[in-house]
């Protein structure tokens, strides 16, 4: 089997790049003849098509990347297999997608989105995102690297560190977490809430809005937004420094940081919806807050990035849920349970680690990919 993997290569710290790179690594370690190339590099992709002659081209992205992941390899007679995420709706390329023999998606919720919006369910198989369980491991709180992270963040030895990581924190449920922390602040053990967000123009205003909320809630002294650039190599230590990973995300097709937190032996607070229904187990590896609100839209305005002309209006026959809000009271209750019970944190963290190793290790995912290509396409 010869596989060409299309993603943001060489890999950036982003989720899609990590998703593609871990599959690529897993295939190489299995002995599969595989190469990787940037999904937007038309010339380099064509070069691989011509000399490498891959049996299959697997491309990581969302439905709006159809031209780069599907149409481009098809132009050269190469079989594409997209591995897709979702953002609440699929507004274009249904005919192209339905003509494929196989579509991979990252969770059962993503599959539901595609089927609801007109994609043949029989064409879709769920392939979860892999996790590097050799890099994301449990660390002792006395490990010098973990102590250094906590010291750099201004966290005292007796403080509980709650962590959220995301391109922006609000989309990962940080505002709901802050509201929950304000509810329990007077009776909870000493805590500090760290939000690690990527430094990018679109997040600056959101960060200010979030921090203003913290001020209004009276908890701003205990909330820190870390906006500096970090590498993927630092993330396991950042997660390892926390006591609780909190991310009741507003939109989450899979939930890679929640899985990585589990691999680090950390209990997770999530939301009982979307991709987290696949990755987290209520009461065993995580606590999942109920959905308090669904944000729906009747129409969206899209442009060239989605295969339309600029300012193209798409009207949905049935309103689409594009955001969820977790129940703040549930989050508060779960935070108190974990903050006041170290043994429970340890027990859930151990269960989370075991689940990630058995279900989401990148080598497990690579084997699943090879089996799917064999079973569905007859390629060995």
135-147: per-residue pLDDT in tens? 999 999 999 999 9
**Is the pLDDT reported for residue 298 higher than 80?**
yes
Q: Which of 140, 108, 3 is nearest to 58 (CA)?
A: 3
Q: Residue 26: enclosing H or E segment and its boundaries?
A: helix 15-30
The mean per-residue pLDDT over the stretch 91-109 comes to: 96
Q: What is the predicted pLDDT for the residue at 172? A: 96
- Evaluate whether 131 touches 259 at the Cβ level (below 8 Å): yes
What single string gives the DSSP state of each residue in 58-111? Answer: EEEE-GGGHIIIIIHHHHTT--EEEEE--SS---S-HHHHHTSS-EEESSHHHH
CA distances from 211 to 156, 169, 172, 222, 270 (A): 21, 11, 15, 11, 21
The mean per-residue pLDDT over the stretch 237-256 comes to: 96
Q: What is the predicted pLDDT for the residue at 84? A: 97
The mean per-residue pLDDT over the stretch 366-377 comes to: 98
Residue burial 12-21, b: 16+ Cβ < 10 Å; e: rest: ebebbbbbbb
Q: What is the predicted pLDDT for the residue at 200? A: 80
Three-class DSSP category at 266: coil
Show the domains of the chain with their CATH numbers: 2-130+361-377 (3.40.50.2000), 144-290+327-359 (3.40.50.2000)
Q: Cβ of 231: how many Cβ atoms within 10 Å?
A: 7
Q: What is the predicted pLDDT for the residue at 197? A: 93
**Is the pLDDT reported for residue 308 higher than 80?**
yes
- Evaluate whether 243 touches 264 at the Cβ level (below 8 Å): no
Q: What is the predicted pLDDT for the residue at 48? A: 98
The mean per-residue pLDDT over the stretch 64-68 comes to: 95
Higher pLDDT pick, 144 / 308? 144
Q: Cβ of 123: how many Cβ atoms within 10 Å?
A: 17
Q: What is the predicted pLDDT for the residue at 202? A: 77
User: What percentage of the chain exceeds 70 in pLDDT?
Assistant: 100
pLDDT digits (tens, 9 = 90+) for 26-52: 999 999 999 999 999 999 999 999 999
**Is the pLDDT reported for residue 88 higher than 90?**
no
Calpha distance 304→181 (Å, rounded): 41
How distant is the alpha carbon of residue 74 from its chain centre? 28
Confidence of residue 13 (pLDDT cuts 50, 70, 90): confident
Residue 230, phi then psi, degrees to nearest 5? -135, 160
Q: Cis link prior to 10 (omega < 30° from 0)?
A: yes
Calpha distance 360→88 (Å, rounded): 23
Q: What is the predicted pLDDT for the residue at 90? A: 85
- Residue ranges of alpha helices (H) inside 84-228 are 94-98, 108-116, 144-152, 174-184, 201-217
């Amino acid at each position: 089997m010869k596989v060409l993997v299309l993603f943001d290569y060489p890999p950036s710290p982003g989720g899609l790049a990590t998703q593609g790179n871990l599959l690529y690594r897993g295939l190489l370690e299995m002995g599969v003849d595989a190469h990787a190339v940037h999904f937007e590099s038309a010339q380099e992709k064509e070069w691989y098509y011509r000399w490498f002659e891959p049996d299959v081209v697997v491309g990581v992205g969302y439905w709006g990347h159809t031209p780069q992941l599907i149409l481009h390899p098809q132009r050269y007679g190469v079989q594409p297999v997209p591995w897709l995420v979702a953002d609440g709706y699929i507004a274009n390329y249904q005919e192209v997608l339905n003509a494929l023999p196989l579509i991979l998606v990252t969770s059962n919720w993503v599959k539901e989105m595609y089927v609801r919006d007109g994609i043949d369910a029989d064409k879709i198989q769920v392939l979860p995102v892999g996790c590097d369980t050799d890099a994301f491991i449990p660390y002792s709180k006395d490990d010098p690297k973990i102590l250094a992270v906590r010291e750099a963040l201004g966290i005292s030895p007796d403080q509980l560190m709650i962590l959220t990581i995301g391109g922006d924190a609000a989309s990962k449920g940080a505002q709901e977490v802050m509201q929950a922390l304000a509810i329990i602040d007077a009776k909870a053990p000493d805590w500090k809430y760290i939000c690690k967000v990527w430094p990018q123009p679109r997040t600056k205003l959101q960060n200010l809005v979030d921090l203003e909320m913290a001020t209004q809630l009276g908890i701003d002294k205990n909330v820190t937004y870390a906006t500096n650039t970090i590498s993927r190599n630092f993330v396991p230590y950042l997660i390892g420094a926390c006591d609780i990973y909190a991310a009741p995300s507003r939109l989450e097709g899979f939930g890679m940081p929640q899985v990585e937190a589990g691999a680090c032996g950390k209990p997770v607070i999530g939301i009982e919806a979307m991709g987290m229904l696949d990755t987290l187990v209520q009461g065993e590896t995580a606590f999942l807050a109920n959905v308090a609100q669904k944000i729906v839209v009747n129409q969206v305005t899209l442009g060239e990035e989605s295969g339309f002309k600029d300012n193209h209006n798409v009207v949905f026959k049935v309103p689409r849920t594009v955001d969820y809000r977790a129940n703040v009271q549930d989050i508060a209750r779960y935070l108190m349970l974990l903050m006041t019970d170290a043994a429970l944190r340890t027990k859930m963290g151990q269960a989370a680690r075991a689940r990630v190793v058995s279900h989401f290790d990148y080598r497990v995912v690579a084997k699943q990919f090879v089996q799917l290509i064999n079973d569905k396409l007859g390629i060995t």
